[in-house]
A and B are shown apart, each in its own frame.
Chain A
Amino acid sequence: MSPRSWPTRTLRAGAVAAAALLTLTACGDGGGEGGDAASFPEDDISMIVPFSAGGPTDTVTRLIAEPMGEALEVQVLVENVEGAGGTVGGAEAAQADPDGYTVLMHHIGMSTAPTLYEDLAYDPQTDFKTVGLVTEVPMTIIARKDFEATDAKDLITYLKENADSVNLAHAGVGSASNLCGLLLQDALGVTFNEVPYDGTGPAMTELVGGQVDLMCDQTTNTSSQIKDGSVKAYAVTTPERVESLSDLPTAQESGLDLEVSVWHGLYVPAETPDDVVAKLTEALQAALKDQTVIDEMAKLGTAPVAEDQATPEAHSAKLKEQTELWAGILPAGG
């Protein structure tokens, strides 16, 4: 059975109530709010994060939820619906009422899920409308602190020559660090011994302890270890250097054809009216100009995207391009 057949969040509030009552509630919601774009929004908006509270994606979501709510003059409530690499929350958002009152925050995983999950309950490209990109979190190539290579160029030479003996850690299949690791091997034309962990925390612990050699992960996860020297950092994976880690070269300036970031974006169900989407996009753009958002994102080693990226068009282009890219690189799932 697919997750579609299970009650959505509206119903969940009354988990013990009778089914008939629940149906009434759902109809009530639909009738009252549906489609009237001119008056949108009249009620609080719920923003689904398909990952756990306190994680990097949750952090970013909570940052923009408040200023978006101010722009729309309602509350934007963040809900964590975690599980199965973000596909549980994705499925829930896909079948929500298409009225703009349920918004999904998702990251790069939206473009990898169709390849990784054969039985995915939704199609990211056709079951959703894109609202706009939010942030692109840079990634860093790091190694245990006593790793032989001295700088990025040296690292590239070393990795090519000693690929067989390198243990590459990542945070599990489909995680950002897994994706970056795959691109890195692709760019170098080598294969490392991949060691999957259950999340970034344990992977980082092992890297700090010197049990594995190499990892590529988001600045949100690696900045503090880089700054205090418990791991050795070589390069960032963005086209430009990252302000908070300005002495790290980009992979490209070091001669490695590698560009990847963990992009985040907002989605609504596909049937949502365009003018409702436009209002959400406008609110997103306003939130990304908020000084608190800019400052807090800087602390996480990232920044809001430029305004021309926080649009449905730029976002759907990104989703399409990335879905094709990952379909070619990732092993198909079961």
Chain B
Amino acid sequence: MDLFDNLILGLTTAFQLKNLLFCLLGVALGTAVGVLPGIGPTATVAMLLPITFGFDEPVTAIIMLAGIYYGAQYGGSTTAILINLPGESSSAVTALDGHQLARQGKAGTALAIAALSSFAAGTVATVAIAVAAPPLTAVALKFGQAELFSVVVLGLIVSIALASGSPLKALAMIVLGILLSTVGRDGFTNTARFTFGIPDLDAGFNFVSVAVGLFGVAEILRNLHDPQHSGRIVGAIKGLWPGREDLRRSVAPATRGTVLGSILGVLPGGGHVLASFGSYALEKKVSRNPKEFGHGAIAGVAGPEAANNAAAQTSFIPLLTLGLPANGVMAMIAGALILQGIALGPSVIQDEPELVWGLIASMWIGNFLLVLLNLPLIGMWVKMLQVPYWVLFPAIVVFACIGCYSIRGNIYEVLGIVVFGLIGYLLIRAGCEPVPLLLGFVLGPFLEEYLRRALIISRGDPMTFLTRPISATLLGLALVALVIAVLPTIRRKREVVFAEEE
């Protein structure tokens, strides 16, 4: 059987000592850099990319890059859980419940569940790539700008369910996030928007400034305001390992997350971001106990982490089957491969079977090594939480500033941390959550670009969103999601009204 032969070829390639070592090195380096506050997978891969330029064999280079990518992703989840500082949009979701678990003394559980869910999702997604790469690619190519716009709309609407407070405030935060994302030079017309003539704002606000400010600095300010929190972050540590009950409760969410992530990962643009947000919203919807979300629900870690990792894996599909990178990280990896003399495109799977299958096999091995590497480290990470709050947080913010400055050397991005910290503090005081704002900020550019491009292609006819069947279906789903999100509030209001009348 072909698939079997291919997997054997892949495993033999990946298990060559050299490839195995570079896979391990990639995973270790990726984790080490990714665990720095505010540095996510994209920044990590960009920083470490040049290491692979001198390799003689392309398969070794891509295996190491893939290792760096997973490692960085897991490193990002670690900081999200421990100190509520996501390095990239996808781990912002993990921070929601993961950090609450850490505060309850269950950081070890959250870290272990994150690693195990990722591993399980990685295993399934690896098989999915081996089996379903060509058909999935064909589906992804059917997605034009109109369809992508509708996917983002659906994602944003569904995410209103993310908020534990009022849907209206969540909507307001999403809109604010979208507005913030419009700052910078517009790629369609080259016009600077809302930059007040400051050239350093041309590239817009940096995700790291926004995330570190909204999550990290705002948190410190809140604690200064409210001194009873200012001891240690966590309560007593209740065991490092997840109990049987935690594991049992993670299986279904991780499975759903894997399926959702595998599908969304193939889509270009915001697919992998939507995967973790979407999975969280889904888990909250299907949960028998939705109130638990935001206060340390284990499903809120397992689902998004699985979705995130599955999407990271399947985002290789368009690259391997068509030579088309699905996101920034993939574009960097594609560049490295071209430098290695690999002609990317539909024929790469025939021309370079060792490369493709070796990579697929090493994805699985990389995930396995990630678990081996990280499970023993959990004890060490958790100890970090026992450092007094007033020592740990200023140190984290200093590291975040250095990290932020070193990526592009832009002082405005460091100032941005302060400004967004103040904004975040005011929002928390006003009872608004920063997560929908961040989501709006991340997805805003996609929403705008897809909308404008779809309208350019349709020559200004908005019916394009309804006459294209996939787009129309997605918008229909968004409408349903909106109704479901708003209904409970309406019902509650009516109950309140009735209660008053009696």
Contact = CB atoms under 8 A, between A and B. Distances in A.
A53 B334 CA distance: 11
Given A195-B456, A208-B141, A173 B406 contact: no
Given A84-B199, A197-B453, A209-B144, A59 B338 contact: yes
With most chain A CB atoms within 10 A of its CB, the pick from B318, B406, B453 is B453
A228 B402 contact: no
A2 B449 contact: no
With most chain B CB atoms within 10 A of its CB, the pick from A6, A209, A210 is A209
Given A12-B409, A84-B202, A334-B190, A299 B144 contact: no
Nearest to B52: A54
Contact of B343 (A62, A223, A331): A223
Interface in B288-325: 318, 322-325
A201 B325 contact: yes
B417 to A, nearest CB: 14
A277 to B, nearest CB: 26
Given A62-B53, A78-B50, A228-B345, A84 B203 contact: yes
A80 B145 CA distance: 31
B331 interface: yes
Size class of the contact patch on chain A? 35 or more
Interface in A174-232: 174, 193-199, 201-202, 204-206, 208-212, 220, 223-225, 227-230
B269 A228 contact: no
Given A6-B411, A53-B46, A62-B53, A199 B331 contact: yes
Contact of B344 (A80, A197, A224): A224
Interface string A83-99: 11000100010000000
Contacts of A252: none
A12 B406 contact: yes
B457 A53 contact: no
Interface stretch (B168-176, B181-189, B493-501): B181-189
Given A202-B268, A220-B338, A224-B345, A209 B141 contact: yes
Interface in A144-181: 167, 172-174
B332 A82 contact: no
B50 A201 contact: no
A300 B338 contact: yes
With most chain B CB atoms within 10 A of its CB, the pick from A92, A193, A220, A230 is A230
Interface string A33-74: 000000000000000000011111011001000000000000
B49 A1 contact: no
A211 B144 contact: yes
A285 to B, nearest CB: 23
A193 B142 CA distance: 21
A230 B457 contact: no
A172 B185 CA distance: 11
Contact of A54 (B199, B334, B406, B456): B334
Contacts of B269: 202
Nearest to A83: B203
Given A62-B53, A173-B189, A54 B345 contact: no
Contacts of A62: 50, 53, 339
A334 B196 CA distance: 12
A193 B457 contact: yes
Contacts of A223: 343
B296 to A, nearest CB: 36
A28 interface: no
B228 interface: no
Contacts of B141: 205, 208-210
B268 A174 contact: no
A211 B318 contact: no
Interface in A73-123: 78, 80-84, 88, 92, 116, 119, 121
Interface in B449-474: 449, 453, 456-457, 459
A296 B53 CA distance: 13
Contacts of A9: 409
Contact of B190 (A198, A206, A333): A333
Given A193-B459, A334-B191, 16 more contacts: A6-B410, A52-B46, A54-B333, A54-B334, A62-B50, A82-B408, A83-B202, A83-B408, A84-B203, A116-B190, A173-B187, A201-B268, A205-B268, A211-B144, A224-B323, A331-B190
Interface of B: 46, 49-50, 53, 141-145, 185, 187-192, 197-200, 202-203, 268-269, 318, 322-325, 330-336, 338-339, 341, 343-348, 398, 402, 405-406, 408-411, 449, 453, 456-457, 459
26 contacts: A3-B200, A6-B409, A53-B46, A55-B331, A59-B339, A62-B339, A78-B50, A84-B199, A88-B408, A121-B199, A167-B457, A173-B189, A198-B187, A199-B331, A201-B331, A201-B334, A205-B322, A205-B324, A206-B145, A208-B324, A209-B141, A209-B142, A225-B323, A227-B347, A228-B347, A230-B323
The 10 closest A-B pairs by CB, nearest first: A54-B335, A209-B141, A228-B345, A173-B190, A211-B144, A224-B345, A54-B332, A224-B343, A205-B324, A84-B202
Interface of A: 1-3, 6-7, 9, 12, 15-16, 52-56, 58-59, 62, 78, 80-84, 88, 92, 116, 119, 121, 167, 172-174, 193-199, 201-202, 204-206, 208-212, 220, 223-225, 227-230, 296, 299-300, 331, 333-334
